[in-house]
Amino acid sequence: MRTQVVIVGGGPSGLLLGQLLHKAGIESIVLERQSRAHVLGRIRAGVLERGLVDLMGQAGVDTRMKAEGFVHDGTLIAYDNDMFRVDFTAHTDATVLVYGQTEVTRDLYDARDATGGDTRFEVENVVIHDAGTDAPFVTFGENGHSERIDCDFIAGCDGFHGVSRKTIPADVRQEYEKVYPFGWLGILSETPPVNDELIYANSDRGFALCSMRNANLSRYYIQCDTSDDPASWSDDAFWDELRRRIPPQAAEALVTGPSIEKSIAPLRSFVCEPMRWGRLFLCGDAAHIVPPTGAKGLNTAASDVHYLNQGLRQFYGQGDSEGIDRYSERALARVWKTQRFSWWFSTLMHHFPDQTAFDKKMQRAELALLRDSREAQAAMALSYVGLAY
């Protein structure tokens, strides 16, 4: 087989790239290790930055998103039983859209099906060859047979554990990591959200987040030990702990119900430099991980897709390699800014095991500054709705 771009990974970033390339007349084949049902069964965040919303429009895949998504023009921050609002539109004239990542992925699969795009599921032993040359190719197993695809470029959208990043020689890669000493215990419940906007809460018992997927599907999180077992948390124990961490008015309004999904997510920050090696480009979790505070994971992957899509269009449309040559530089410049925001917001809202009395006072002072300062709120709002590409 031959194609112009092989996309390794059939999650939302790989699918979005494939759809944008299709709009430009650039051929691609998507290789996904899991089944389609498995990919669509992943429970992920659903706060979409303005940049991702615009990219979905450019890809022609925003009809259902616009009809069913919930526009949020602010968020609530709580601490010491007090709560204040950060107004996004007042500071940035922009909003975010709450629309589940699973729904984004489903829309992109449907769009790829409609265009006849070539997507291979449940492929095995994907190996990237000769990425450092002008003649890369990819081999993989499918239905018991070995296959090969020759191509011009390879987009590694296969996540942290995929083969793409590991293909870059170890002496070329520089990796940066911060592991946080806690996780998030999250549940999904078929209950109305406690508030029309997200509530981020800092309490002496630890962080909590009240989020949503739609009008009758809520997502709640509490900070927990990474050694905790989700099975050891009953639904009642989770709801009781959540009530203790959010302001009284929110606790009283909370509608509880049986959980339909329960899991613990570790928190860490990770960046791999560079994001390009030869004809191989890393996108999304293959290159960087952020803690979920601030919902930057999928959104930062979308910015990678934007820069790579631009570079490939420039190459095929104008014969100019400037965009792909500078892909890593441009993507990383924005990646580190989103890392900074996620690190800052996580540090602000969580209880750390080694936190001293002075550290707690500083955290409270920072929260008070955010509450009282228009300039501090403007800086937060700008990062939350998404930095310009």
Active site residues: 72, 200, 292, 296, 384
Contact assessment for residue 151 and residue 2, using Cβ atoms and an 8 Å cutoff: yes
Q: What angle do CA 252, 254, 256 make, to 5 degrees?
A: 130
Burial class (CB in 10 A: 0-12, 13-18, 19+), 339: buried
Contact assessment for residue 107 and residue 61, using Cβ atoms and an 8 Å cutoff: yes
ω into 136 cis (within 30 of 0): no
165 is written with which tokens?
């990043």
Our CA dihedral for 259, 263, 267, 272, rounded to 10 degrees, sits at -120
Q: Give the separation between CA 194 and CA 253, rounded to whole angstroms.
A: 6
Q: Give the separation between CA 272 and CA 286, rounded to whole angstroms.
A: 8
The CA–CA distances, whole Å, from 230 to 209, 223, 233, 265, 292 equal 17, 12, 5, 10, 18
Which residues lie below 8 Å from residue 355, measured CB to CB, with a gap of 6+?
Answer: 363
